[in-house]
Amino acid sequence: MGVWSAGIGIHYRAIAAEDEEAQVYRHFLSAQPSSQLANLLAGVEPILALAPMQDVTDLGFWKLMTGYGGADLYFTEYFRVHPDSILDPEILKSITANPTGRPAIAQLIGNHIPSLVRSARELQKHPVAAIDLNLGCPVPVVYRKNAGGGLLRDVAQIDLILGALRDAIDTKFTVKTRLGFDDPGVFEELLGVYARHSLDLLTVHGRTVAERYRSTVHYDYIARAVEVMPCPVLANGNVVSASKAQSVLEQTAARGLMIGRGAIRNPWLFEQIRQRGRGEVPFEPRGRDVLAYIQALYEIRYRPEFRESSHVQQMKKYMNYIGLGVESSGRFLHEIRRVNTRDDFFRLCNEFLDHSEPMPLEPFGIQLKETDFMCGEHG
Ligand SMILES: Cc1cc2nc3c(=O)[nH]c(=O)nc-3n(C[C@H](O)[C@H](O)[C@H](O)COP(=O)(O)O)c2cc1C
């Protein structure tokens, strides 16, 4: 080899080494949760997010969802923030041990600015893709303290909070809002405030706080948010099937969907939406698939220190949603609410679900009471 070609060889090796280093660095950057989120936001497919749901969407539930195809994006249950608060270690675990391989957004609820700023700073020491502020919780004990949905009565205070948080947050900053407290007339003003604070993502649950969880969802307001917001918008509320997902995306032109109760009832929902988007026939679970899902839920909820009856009680919360897709008369739901032992619980589940018939893709129109939404303390 002549001097010239040897020189080229060294040069190439140097470039190759540089490339390798750059590649490793690029890989490192792209594995960062905020880069993962940036990639998602920059993509073209609708973003499918699992909604934050207190006492439901913990690490175990995220992991279970992932096994069924899973969401593209996960929001933690909210961290309560006040002057004496510390980051709830159980919720923090979903971030530090995030089993989904997808970005996780940490949600805060509160109104005390120095505490919100402190919590946002602490959370940024962990692998969070973004910090989210809850502006929608309709639970009286929360909104009466002017937190969550209660803040929607005080747009000036929201403005101050968003300003302080935007300054404190180096990573991405997102908000989850309802349309207003009891009048969606305030929504336009709210959008003006959200637009001023350079949010990276806005999720809109298309109801007022007063409408809680059961009213129709006002998708026209979500469409308005999509029109005026400079950031991407996720549509939230009653997305219960792949065909509903498609119609909500069409009605709102939202960048994606946030799905809560629909995913508890049907963990295949995210994958079914993707399948439908690709023009494929969505997966149709059979009775035994739903039975296996209930068994898996029972396992992840199991704690040896729980009494059997409290464990069964806990399962009933999930059954309020799962039961909406089991049969149309309401008998399953009626009976499952009355069992107290594990044996009775599974005897009833087996009676209705130990079969290979296809399960409905849409829930039946059985009406739940507001108290059945397991939102007595949450949401
Ligand atoms: C049990 C439960 C707990 C909830 N907890 C939260 C929460 O911690 N933070 C939040 O922003 N919303 C919470 N929500 C509201 C959901 O994130 C979502 O906005 C609402 O359920 C509407 O979406 P869906 O129709 O897809 O369920 C909760 C809802 C339920 C049912």
Higher-confidence position of 255 and 306: 255
Q: CA of 277: how far to CAs of 73, 102, 312, in Å?
A: 18, 20, 37
User: Quick one: which atom of ligand 1 is closest to the CA of 207?
Assistant: 22
Segments forming the whole domain that contains residue 302? 287-360
User: Quick one: which atom of ligand 1 is closest to the CA of 373?
Assistant: 31
Q: Looking at the structure, do residues 252 and 348 belong to the same domain, yes or no?
A: no
Residue 26, domain member (yes or no): no
Ligand 1 site, residue 53, Cβ cutoff 6 A: yes
Q: Looking at the structure, do residues 169 and 111 belong to the same domain, yes or no?
A: yes
Q: Looking at the structure, do residues 293 and 257 belong to the same domain, yes or no?
A: no
pLDDT in tens, 47-86: 999 999 999 999 999 999 999 999 999 999 999 999 999 9
Residue 3, domain member (yes or no): no
Q: Looking at the structure, do residues 141 and 72 belong to the same domain, yes or no?
A: yes
Buried b (16+ CB within 10 A) or exposed e, 339-373: beeeeebbebbeebbeeeeebebebeebebeeebb
Mutate to test the pocket of ligand 1, among 48, 50, 53, 141 (most ligand atoms within 8 A of CB): 53
User: Quick one: which atom of ligand 1 is closest to the CA of 264?
Assistant: 27
At residue 372's C-alpha, the angle toward residues 368 and 377, to 5°, is: 145
Residues tagged active-site: 137
* Gap from CA of 261 to ligand 1 centroid (Å): 8
Ligand 1 site, residue 237, Cβ cutoff 6 A: yes
Ligand 1 site, residue 203, Cβ cutoff 6 A: no
Please tell me the distance from the alpha carbon of residue 165 to that of residue 196, in angstroms, as a whole number: 13
Ligand 1 site, residue 176, Cβ cutoff 6 A: yes
Q: Looking at the structure, do residues 170 and 241 belong to the same domain, yes or no?
A: yes
Q: Looking at the structure, do residues 189 and 236 belong to the same domain, yes or no?
A: yes
Ligand 1 site, residue 77, Cβ cutoff 6 A: yes
pLDDT in tens, 191-250: 999 999 999 999 999 999 999 998 999 999 999 999 999 999 999 999 999 999 999 999
Q: Looking at the structure, do residues 167 and 300 belong to the same domain, yes or no?
A: no
Q: Looking at the structure, do residues 101 and 123 belong to the same domain, yes or no?
A: yes
The type of residue at 249 is L
| pTM for the full predicted model | 0.91
pLDDT tier for residue 376 given thresholds of 50, 70 and 90: very low
Residue 35, domain member (yes or no): no
Q: Looking at the structure, do residues 119 and 45 belong to the same domain, yes or no?
A: yes
> What is the CATH number for 136?
3.20.20.70
Q: Looking at the structure, do residues 208 and 128 belong to the same domain, yes or no?
A: yes
Q: Looking at the structure, do residues 106 and 125 belong to the same domain, yes or no?
A: yes
Q: Looking at the structure, do residues 232 and 337 belong to the same domain, yes or no?
A: no
